[in-house]
Structure 1
Amino acid sequence: MSNPLVEELKWRGMVHDMMPGTEEQLSKEVTTGYVGFDPTADSLHIGNLVPVMLLVHLQRAGHKPVALVGGATGMVGDPSGKSAERPMLDLDKLNHNLNSQKKQLQKFLNFDCGENSAEIVNNYDWFKDISFLDFIRDTGKHITVNYMMSKDSVKNRLETGMSFTEFTYQLVQGYDFYHLYNEKNCRLQMGGSDQWGNIVTGTELIRRKVQGEAFALTAPLIKKADGSKFGKSEGGNVWLDAEKTSPYKFYQYWLNTSDEDASNFIRIFTLLSKEEIEALEKEHNEAPHLRVLQKALAEDITVRVHSKEDLDTAIKASNLLFGKSTTEDLESIDENTLLAVFEGVPQVDITASELAEAEGYIDLLSTTTKEVIFKSKGEVRRMLQGGGVSINKAKIEDMNAKPEIKLLQDKYFLVQKGKKNYYLITVQ
């Protein structure tokens, strides 16, 4: 039996494994399904968006999504896909991370739509009252060591070593599914393909403890066409938190994807329809240099993770380097975006008195800026005479005038030499 939700996920390339009977369950009734998020950081990153989108599609299909934040499992640490044990987090740090992640999850799901309103639950709420003896007696006896040892997350770590704490992780996660099955009639758990073993431990626990039936569906782990790791940039993870990854850098990450990746990512990370995506691909193939696909992907996902205002700022900031822009555009962006845009350009520090005492633009652009921009006054003069120098996107018309510069954010100004050479000056 085919199901509209599963068909939707399949054409988007979001189904890796699915337990038999899942489609029948989804076709039979409004089904509660959940995804777990461990609070290893105080922000989700773009890799987490895959399971988030599974919940989004579940809700759009009329089912009830539950996002589980792992206050308890975060204390244990999931060994799946890890070559070494995760560092332990204290309770204060865990709670800080949990609260930050909750705010981000609330952007994607509808929490006020009746029967299929989304919920966020914290597994610490039920684990905090369970004693170790109660757990091993009432839950541990239902899952054999042989069964637990057969899981890839365990087998892959046997050579390097695995603590008993990590070994029990799949049992703790399995109990989450059992608890939600009992308390919220949750019949489905979803996640990345590396979670398959942990998820089916939950379905097995439900079967053995209460003779119940539950289901599993996982999405493939995202890989880039060139083999490099998805979700990483030169600065590390691409985070959903604007303080960790600026909206400009976030936008640029998607804008700079390859054609093959963009075709894949636009299916997974946007809610554009199949017809809309195929029309964009056709348009892109006719003029690949316009990067229609990348722009549509970057714009859609930046608005949903951040805001339309952040997208407009990111586009404006992108044009500072790569397109036509004005002094007003430059003055309108915030300090974090300014620094993100010009992160890779040469930077010079000068004092406020050096700026004030500069006799003219020739003096300012050679001596005062430590000869970083121009090596001699003669070079400055030639470039100025040819109209090849701008400050804050305004061309210098009178090279002999006393420099009067409106500082960006009260401490920066931008020098442009020719068409492509930029220098950011910090006035201290």
Structure 2
Amino acid sequence: MHAFLSLTTAFTLVSAPTPMAAPLQQPVWLCKPGSTADFCETTALNATVVNPGGATSVEPFERPQQRPVDCFYVYPTVNLLPESTPPTAEDEEETVTLMQAGRLTQHCRMFAPMYRQAPLTSYVIGGLGLPTDFETGYQDVKQAFAHYWNNDNLDPATGKRRGVVFLGHSQGAAVVARLLQEEFDGKPEKSDQLVAAYIMGTDVKVPMDATSGGGNDPGATFQHIPSCERPNPSAPIPTGCVVAFSAYDMPAADADKAALGRTTNLTHRVLCSSPSALLTGARHTDTLPMRAYMPTRQLLRGNILSPSGALTLLFGDYRPTTYPTGYATYPGQVTGRCTWATGTKGRVDWLQVDGLENIKKNHTALGLHVMDFNVDAGGIGDLVAAQAATWTAGQGH
């Protein structure tokens, strides 16, 4: 767990010069439409609905044959040791991909590359002042995206490029942020295809009085890609923008202990987006219902000794339910709102989550980090669907 804590200090280092391994001969895919072993398309992802009184029912999960846009997903830090070359899929990568991005296959074709990420052990080494190799993993993802863009993004049915939703968490979120900076920010030939970017569990910084840097703001993560905003219910669903948050269940008095969501530059803030607010046109700071979908032991391939399977060490005190479905969901029991506090270490912005305390305890420093994509997976899914529909309608598809 100490190594896991160390990773929170390294998210912004992905762009720093670091040692790099030889490039892969070709991309390696966890999930790619048309591949013979695409578990993103074949895994059953039904959910058990757990009502407040304890009664349960099964919510079926279906993937339509045709989906209007694509998703490009980069998974978080899950490897304890360095990846092989070429990387090979293990339970860690497969289960975290399913728990974070699996349900979104209802709305998009899923492209998920493998990459030789900086493993947990390297964060300990980095804490000793030795270089940590983030560059190899980034270049693996960049290579995979180039392959996707050149070979899969052009829709054979329409002859037009397809819209893309980017998804990333933790180290994967930092990789996605850099990819967008280099390939999309201020580049309309690609940014026009950006449906949205979900950059979760890392710090996306925006000016206090604007949604992006505007072209010349070194303190902002993006200069021209704005944060997703919907000021009222009559405003359109925003597209071409960023959704980001770090989830916590903590009082404002504990903000100094948080490892994520912090900035010491008080002309900027760390972006907190409420998916439920974007769906309804409410304020991000309004307390709104959220629909958590928490991974079960079955999805995580766990057992009595390792309830979260290969992710047990990372998931700490999380105890997955034993329902015979992929997820458990708790309607009417979880709420969330964006909030912030200023302490002795700067300003902290986070998504305050209430109602999950009996399911996943808040970690003092990391909060609900490992479940960022799950605390409102229902809202994220509905928002991706709405953004895909809005973007597609605007393209005349």
Question: RCO greater where, 1 or 2, for CA within 8 Å and sep 6 or more?
Answer: 2
Find the structure with the greater CA-based Rg. 1
Query: Greater helix share, 1 or 2?
Result: 1
- Same fold by TM (over 0.5)? no
TM-score range, shorter chain: under 0.3
